[in-house]
Amino acid sequence: MKLAALETLRQQNPIVFNISNFVTVQDVANGINALGASPIMSEEITEAEEMVQMASAVVLNLGAFTERQVAQIRRVGQLANQYHKPLVIDPVAVGAVKYRKQVATQLLADFQVDIIRGNAGEIAALADVDWQAKGIDAGEGNQDLVAVAKACATKQHAIVILSGPTDVITDGKQVCKVFNGTPLFQLHVGSGDMLSSVVGAFAGVLPDYFEAAQTACATFASAGERVAATLSAEQPGTFAAKLFDELHLMTLQNLTETAKFEVQP
Amino acid sequence: MKLAALETLRQQNPIVFNISNFVTVQDVANGINALGASPIMSEEITEAEEMVQMASAVVLNLGAFTERQVAQIRRVGQLANQYHKPLVIDPVAVGAVKYRKQVATQLLADFQVDIIRGNAGEIAALADVDWQAKGIDAGEGNQDLVAVAKACATKQHAIVILSGPTDVITDGKQVCKVFNGTPLFQLHVGSGDMLSSVVGAFAGVLPDYFEAAQTACATFASAGERVAATLSAEQPGTFAAKLFDELHLMTLQNLTETAKFEVQP
Amino acid sequence: MKLAALETLRQQNPIVFNISNFVTVQDVANGINALGASPIMSEEITEAEEMVQMASAVVLNLGAFTERQVAQIRRVGQLANQYHKPLVIDPVAVGAVKYRKQVATQLLADFQVDIIRGNAGEIAALADVDWQAKGIDAGEGNQDLVAVAKACATKQHAIVILSGPTDVITDGKQVCKVFNGTPLFQLHVGSGDMLSSVVGAFAGVLPDYFEAAQTACATFASAGERVAATLSAEQPGTFAAKLFDELHLMTLQNLTETAKFEVQP
């Protein structure tokens, strides 16, 4: 865990190229912009190579993928590999929709991803573990979450972030748990997508992607927790507005005081 | 009017599948999520059948329809009929744009809709009544709003919600008027689209769609009215943030105290 | 500078047709709606002619242009010329992405634009002046901003708005500088796109586009400055919500007291 990377991020202002979910794209752009990164979005395959070249990191969100978008995602993923840019994937709803799992599986064979960020249902699907997902929600299952995350990491040869009340981050062997957060994240639809792009922002400044994933989770979850502490009730709209404030204003000292995590070697 | 359905909705957490307007999709997702439903969105026709099958209700927003989206809307509407899922349509701007009316008319012949939610200009257009709409706004006309709504319901064999300062809900014979609301709804662009999806959420838990439509209008308009009562001035941005808060926090007791309506058998 | 046009705008409620950036479309619609204009958006070329005919102004945002969108932008631009509607273009990222500059250059040859609104990097690119842009950000260069803006206006035969800490507005000869603003604009991703559509709204009520451009900049920058003055810290989320409030609530008197500008004939 390298919390000080928050300051590196703000100094370096990494460009994060997002193939984004049309539902939450505005929040994602504003979230990483508030944090200190520079978001770029594009839906046109012709400019994909230029975008990847200028980017410090690439984030592919499978939140709403038409056939055209899937073709663009494939191309951008391959370009990220070619130009050695850190590549984050957010496999939205692959646990609930068979078509999405099928396409995601093919994509993960077409390029090598560095970090996968999803909820329990999504990570279980990519690990081929039984799980009951529900729409875009995590759903329920009897499996141990750490085992699910490890299985996915091993199968996909990637760092895995399994998001939830406790975030589980693993490279397949080592495990980091981040205990920060707030139930308000689930009351705001763009939270998961925003975290995935925050992961991209940190991967753009930290060459060790396992550390980048941990630090991104601790930073994002701490920001949410700090906002929730200022609210007198579960106010999802006010929470969203203040989350952007906190992403911009949170200092390294505040982050260090708030972050609660453990790393198991 | 079954105000207690608010609690049913929160217990059942219905999945609402939205073919959504790209302008307001994020607000719509957040609105019904805050209320207690589970939004899913998709732009890909290949996954339409899976989406419809898992959904408790389907909402088709004609807010921005490319030829591709129209094809998807047609397919999703037909699937909703096939799987007997409640089907809500929001005919954005059919009163102002001839092309939209023409396409909407064809769509309404290709599947059977259960509930139509629009402003006066849009409902008048689908009733073939003269009206002067203006862009996305309701516009002006000399017709009696109840007569317009009834004519549309009879012509389209559907429950009709004609939204405005007073919401008129009718099955073509019975009429319910909801008197709650605030002018701030018109100052926030996504309000109508959000209401349409709230209607879908209630139709996902109330088998009587006339009651679902009434309850949705009373709930949404009461939430807005309660937020407006806390503001010292017409603040559209603050209103939008607080509307999400209130959709999540409003209790059945608050709703019962606030809702003002009459049902004419 | 015709600050009183704010009241004209609110009386006339001009319809502004936006070909919009998918990242920021909701903010753009809400921004000009809060100000007093009526936004319409569309992605379908078949309805382009009707949309242009009903509009008081047309705004083309090149923020995310697929080949399909470029075709629609071309058609809408030509229709705006044909129907003599004021035409505003926002050349997002043409300074950073070669493909975008190439397409934008071709578009500017296919129709005649009235007003161009961009940051230093974008305006420099359309003036063929050397500049280091960075993604969607303005970047840095050694050129005098007034000279860059004038060169672009002369080359493109259009009013040019070069946005930044000081907005430079020029017809190629006369120059207006608007000194209002706040660094918070850069912390919210949709600010530039929103300004471009506000420019369209004023061009829909002021036949002198140079005056429309000046007044739009003074109004928008003053609104942001007034909001920033109420905040105790750099809060980008709270700023965005309150910006909509202020766009709606700002009076001509408040605007007149806040606006700081100079016009050099």
DSSP, residue by residue, B58-90: EEEE-SS--HHHHHHHHHHHHHHHHTT--EEEE
> CB burial class (10 A; 0-12, 13-18, 19+) of residue A109?
exposed
CB contact under 8 A, A97 and B15: no
Which pLDDT tens digit goes with each residue over B198-220?
A: 999 999 999 999 999 999 999 99
Query: Distance from B25 to chain C by nearest Cα, in Å?
Result: 8
Could you tell me if B68 and B58 are in contact, meaning their C-beta atoms sit under 8 angstroms apart? no
pLDDT of residue B93: 87
Tell whether the model's pLDDT for residue B133 goes beyond 70. Answer: no
Question: Which among B219, B173, B188 is positioned nearest to B37, based on CA atoms?
Answer: B219
Relative orientation angle of helices C209-228 and C191-203, to the nearest 10 degrees: 140
Tell whether the model's pLDDT for residue C139 goes beyond 80. Answer: no
Least confident piece of the model among A259-263, B82-86, C119-123: C119-123
ipTM: 0.94
pLDDT of residue C131: 72
Tell me the DSSP string of C59-72.
Answer: EEE-SS--HHHHHH
Could you tell me if C162 and C145 are in contact, meaning their C-beta atoms sit under 8 angstroms apart? yes
For range B238-253, the mean pLDDT: 98
Give the residue, A93 or A224, on which the prediction is more confident: A224
For range C238-258, the mean pLDDT: 98
Least confident piece of the model among A126-130, A133-137, C27-31, C196-200: A133-137
Could you tell me if C217 and C256 are in contact, meaning their C-beta atoms sit under 8 angstroms apart? no
Distance CA A166, CA A261 (A): 9
pLDDT of residue B21: 87
Could you tell me if A98 and B50 are in contact, meaning their C-beta atoms sit under 8 angstroms apart? yes
Residue found by looking up tokens 């700081």 in the block: C260
Confidence class for position B196, pLDDT limits 50, 70, 90: very high
Residue C35 sits at the chain B interface (C-beta within 8 Å):
no
CA distances to B94, B188, C102, C232 from B87, rounded to whole Å, are 18, 25, 45, 47
> CB burial class (10 A; 0-12, 13-18, 19+) of residue B130?
exposed
Residue C238 sits at the chain A interface (C-beta within 8 Å):
yes
> Which residues of chain B make contact with A190, given a CB cutoff of 8 A?
26, 30
pLDDT of residue C100: 92
pLDDT of residue B136: 53
Q: Which residues make beta-bridge pairs with C167?
A: C178
Residue B189 sits at the chain C interface (C-beta within 8 Å):
yes
> Which residues of chain C make contact with A242, given a CB cutoff of 8 A?
235, 237-238
Residue B58 sits at the chain A interface (C-beta within 8 Å):
no
Q: Determine the 3-state secondary structure of A40 from DSSP.
A: strand
The token pair at C262 is 């100079």
Could you tell me if A259 and A222 are in contact, meaning their C-beta atoms sit under 8 angstroms apart? yes
Rg (CA), chain A: 17
Which pLDDT tens digit goes with each residue over B97-126?
A: 899 999 999 999 999 999 999 999 999 999
Neighbour tally for B263: CB within 10 Å:
14
pLDDT of residue C262: 96
The pLDDT mean for chain B works out to 94
Q: What sign does the dihedral A218-A219-A221-A223 (CA atoms) show?
A: positive
Chains with 3+ CB–CB pairs under 8 A to B are: A, C
Least confident piece of the model among A97-111, A135-149, A176-190, C19-33: A135-149
CB contact under 8 A, A34 and C65: no
Query: Distance from A92 to chain C by nearest Cα, in Å?
Result: 19
The token pair at A184 is 């308000």
> Which residues of chain A make contact with B223, given a CB cutoff of 8 A?
none
The pLDDT mean for chain C works out to 94
CB under 8 Å to B91, separation ≥6 — which residues? B62, B100, B104, B116, B118, B122, B125, B126
> Which residues of chain B make contact with A100, given a CB cutoff of 8 A?
47
Residue C67 sits at the chain A interface (C-beta within 8 Å):
yes
Residue found by looking up tokens 């999703």 in the block: B76
Give the dihedral of Cα atoms A121, A123, A126, A131; nearest 10 deg.
Answer: -30
pLDDT of residue C107: 96
> CB burial class (10 A; 0-12, 13-18, 19+) of residue A25?
buried
Binding-face residues of B in 73-132 toward A, CB within 8 A: none
Confidence class for position A158, pLDDT limits 50, 70, 90: very high
Half-sphere exposure of C203 toward its Cβ, with a 13 Å CA cutoff? 29
CB contact under 8 A, A26 and C93: no
Instruction: Give exposure, A194-213, as e/b (b: 16+ Cβ within 10 Å).
Output: bbbbbbbbbbbbbeebbbbb
CB contact under 8 A, B190 and C26: yes
Distance CA C252, CA A220 (A): 41
Chain C, nearest residue to A20 by Cα: C23
CB contact under 8 A, B135 and C40: yes
The DSSP call for residue B156 is: H
Chain C, nearest residue to A22 by Cα: C22
pLDDT of residue C28: 96
Residue B57 sits at the chain A interface (C-beta within 8 Å):
no
Half-sphere exposure of A240 toward its Cβ, with a 13 Å CA cutoff? 30
Chains with 3+ CB–CB pairs under 8 A to C are: A, B
CB contact under 8 A, A249 and C233: yes
Which pLDDT tens digit goes with each residue over C165-184?
A: 999 999 999 999 999 999 99
Q: Determine the 3-state secondary structure of A254 from DSSP.
A: helix
Chain C, nearest residue to B137 by Cα: C38
Q: What is the strand order of the sheet A115-119 is part of? A: A38-41, A15-19, A57-61, A87-90, A115-119, A159-163, A167-170, A175-178, A261-264
C10's enclosing H/E stretch is helix C5-12
CB under 8 Å to B63, separation ≥6 — which residues? B20, B21, B22, B23, B24, B90, B92, B93, B193
Domains of chain A: 5-264 (3.40.1190.20)
Confidence class for position C208, pLDDT limits 50, 70, 90: very high
pLDDT of residue C141: 59
> Which residues of chain A make contact with B42, given a CB cutoff of 8 A?
64
Give the Cα-Cα-Cα angle A157, A163, A166 (nearest 5 degrees).
120
Q: Which of C244, C247, C251, C254 should one mutate to test binding to chain B, selecting the residue with the greatest count of B CBs within 10 A?
A: C244
For range A227-241, the mean pLDDT: 98
CB contact under 8 A, A15 and C234: no
Tell whether the model's pLDDT for residue C138 goes beyond 70. Answer: no
Give me the residue from B15, B38, B43 closest to A64, CB to CB. B43
Residue found by looking up tokens 């949309």 in the block: C51
Which pLDDT tens digit goes with each residue over C88-120?
A: 999 998 988 899 999 999 999 999 999 999 999
Residue C45 sits at the chain A interface (C-beta within 8 Å):
no
Distance CA A201, CA A25 (A): 15
Q: Which of C20, C41, C251 should one mutate to test binding to chain B, selecting the residue with the greatest count of B CBs within 10 A?
A: C41
Chain A, nearest residue to C66 by Cα: A44
CB contact under 8 A, C249 and B235: yes
Query: Distance from B110 to chain C by nearest Cα, in Å?
Result: 21
Q: Which of C46, C75, C242 should one mutate to test binding to chain B, selecting the residue with the greatest count of B CBs within 10 A?
A: C46
Tell whether the model's pLDDT for residue B221 goes beyond 70. Answer: yes
Give me the residue from C20, C29, C242 closest to B238, CB to CB. C242
Q: What backbone phi and psi angles, to 5 degrees, belong to A137?
A: -90, 165
Across C12-147, where does the E strand assignment appear?
15-19, 38-41, 57-61, 87-90, 115-119, 132-134, 137-140
Residue A30 sits at the chain C interface (C-beta within 8 Å):
yes
pLDDT of residue A265: 79
Tell whether the model's pLDDT for residue C151 goes beyond 70. Answer: yes
pLDDT of residue C65: 79
Give me the residue from C20, C26, C241 closest to B241, CB to CB. C241
pLDDT of residue C56: 98
pLDDT of residue A95: 87
Give me the residue from C25, C43, C245 closest to B236, CB to CB. C245
> Which residues of chain A make contact with C241, given a CB cutoff of 8 A?
241
Distance of CA C227 to the CA centre of its chain: 20
Distance CA A88, CA A75 (A): 14
> Which residues of chain A make contact with B204, given a CB cutoff of 8 A?
none
Q: Determine the 3-state secondary structure of C207 from DSSP.
A: coil
Give me the residue from A99, A234, A235 closest to B47, CB to CB. A99
Tell whether the model's pLDDT for residue C229 goes beyond 90. Answer: yes
Q: Determine the 3-state secondary structure of B7 from DSSP.
A: helix
Residues of A comprising the binding site for substrate?
Answer: 41, 190
Tell whether the model's pLDDT for residue C26 goes beyond 90. Answer: yes
Which pLDDT tens digit goes with each residue over A129-150?
A: 877 655 555 665 556 899 999 9
* Strand bridging mode A175-178 / A261-264: antiparallel
Tell whether the model's pLDDT for residue A72 goes beyond 60. Answer: yes
Distance CA B89, CA B118 (A): 9
Confidence class for position B138, pLDDT limits 50, 70, 90: low
Confidence class for position A6, pLDDT limits 50, 70, 90: very high
Distance CA A30, CA C188 (A): 6
Chains with 3+ CB–CB pairs under 8 A to A are: B, C
- A140-147 long-range Cβ contacts below 8 angstroms, 24+ apart: A145/A120, A146/A170, A146/A175
Residue C232 sits at the chain A interface (C-beta within 8 Å):
no
Could you tell me if A104 and A62 are in contact, meaning their C-beta atoms sit under 8 angstroms apart? yes
Share of chain C above pLDDT 90, in %: 85
The token pair at A35 is 């944090």
CB contact under 8 A, B190 and C44: no
pLDDT of residue B63: 83
Question: Which among B106, B37, B99 is positioned nearest to B77, based on CA atoms?
Answer: B106
pLDDT of residue B65: 79
pTM equals 0.95
Residue found by looking up tokens 């609210």 in the block: A231
Binding-face residues of A in 3-22 toward C, CB within 8 A: 15, 20, 22
